[in-house]
Structure 1
Amino acid sequence: MPEHIKKKLLEEIKQLEHELAHELPLEIKKAAALGDLSENAEYHMAKQRQVFVNARLGQLKKRMGELALVNLANIPHDRVAFGSTIVVYDTSKDEEIEYKLVTSEESDVNQGLISTTSPIGRALVGKQVGDVATVVTPNGKRELEILKLSTIHDEAE
């Protein structure tokens, strides 16, 4: 797992654990002191936040476990996969676009960083230079011809 992703996830986990252990109990205690809990909006909001924080912590810890299992040696050297930088020709827009396949935590479409789980990412994974990937988007089908491919192994050298 790339270090910057691990650091980002660990920071969010640390922040949420602090909120769960220190801030939310104080909010709940303060709200409970206001009286009747059945009509106490502050109390209900704090309890809802507590449920959300617990759920998010579970998601983040599960994601950390999933990312720890990624074996970079299993990523192909000649096909699009996680870490690949791809230049495609988009026939619908009549332009060349560069994408880098990243984890969902890193994705930023405006910078060309797309998740391997996004519609475009899923369509490109496993393709080689010269292949055409058909992507179904809300705006219709797009055809992307792969012009250049640089895998995570090429970039490591």
Structure 2
Amino acid sequence: MSNVSYYTAEGLKKLRDEIEFLKSVERPKASQAIADARDKGDLSENAEYDAAKEAQGLLELKIAKMEEVLANARLIDESQLDTSKVLVLSTVRIKNKVNGMELTYKLVAESEADLKSGKISVTSPIGKGLLGKSVGEIAEISVPNGTLKFEILEISRD
């Protein structure tokens, strides 16, 4: 069974670009490394040749996996998303009920998550806890060190 994953246009372009880079730059490098090692003589005792072949195999496996992800990728139409509830691609401003700290996160697919840029996965504990909530609701989220309570202040789309 295939795993469908949802992407923004930006995330899908990034995935396609990475696959293209691996095919057009890294694949020829791997082939050249094998050819260079082959030119050095006896293949039965050539560790460099074996290493180059193994690296090529790993590269081909990575390309195949990424192509499978791309084949099962679905583009999210942001214009069709409801802004009254927290959904994937929502930008959510929340307030920690314990310390009063306000945070802003954008909920994205797991493959696009990047905490440094404020993007959290919808499959993370906080992402799951916020999904489906409306402005004014309190989200109680179980995390390894207890329960966090966040008030939903604002939901928007970028």
By the TM > 0.5 criterion, same fold?
yes
Q: 36, 45, 50: which is aligned to 1:44?
A: 50
2:29 paired residue number? 23
1:89 paired residue number? 95
Partners of 1:4 and 1:122 lie apart in 2 by 22
Q: 119, 125, 132: which is aligned to 2:131?
A: 125
Residue type matched to 1:44 in 2?
A: D
Alignment of 1:101-140 (within 5 A): 101-140=107-146
Q: TM-score, normalised by structure 1?
A: 0.75
Is contact 1:100–1:114 with CA below 8 Å preserved after alignment? yes
Tell me whether 65-74 or 78-87 shows the greater mean CA deviation. 65-74
Residue type matched to 2:100 in 1?
A: D
Unaligned runs of 5+ in 2: 1-6
Bigger proportion of residues as helix: 1
Q: TM-score, normalised by structure 2?
A: 0.75
Fraction of identical pairs, as percent: 30
1:100 paired residue number? 106
CA RMSD between the two structures: 2.7
1:15: Cα distance to partner?
0.9
1:78 is paired with a residue whose SS is coil
1:36: Cα distance to partner?
4.4
Is contact 1:104–1:115 with CA below 8 Å preserved after alignment? yes
Would the alpha carbon gap of residues 65 and 31 (structure 1) be closer, same or farther in structure 2, given more than 3 Å must change?
same
Is contact 1:20–1:50 with CA below 8 Å preserved after alignment? no
Task: Point out which structure has higher relative CO (alpha carbons under 8 A, 6+ apart).
Answer: 2
For the pair 1:57 / 2:63, whether they are aligned, the reply is yes
Partners of 1:119 and 1:21 lie apart in 2 by 38
1:13 paired residue number? 19
2:132 is paired with a residue whose SS is coil
1:11: Cα distance to partner?
1.3
Is contact 1:37–1:43 with CA below 8 Å preserved after alignment? no
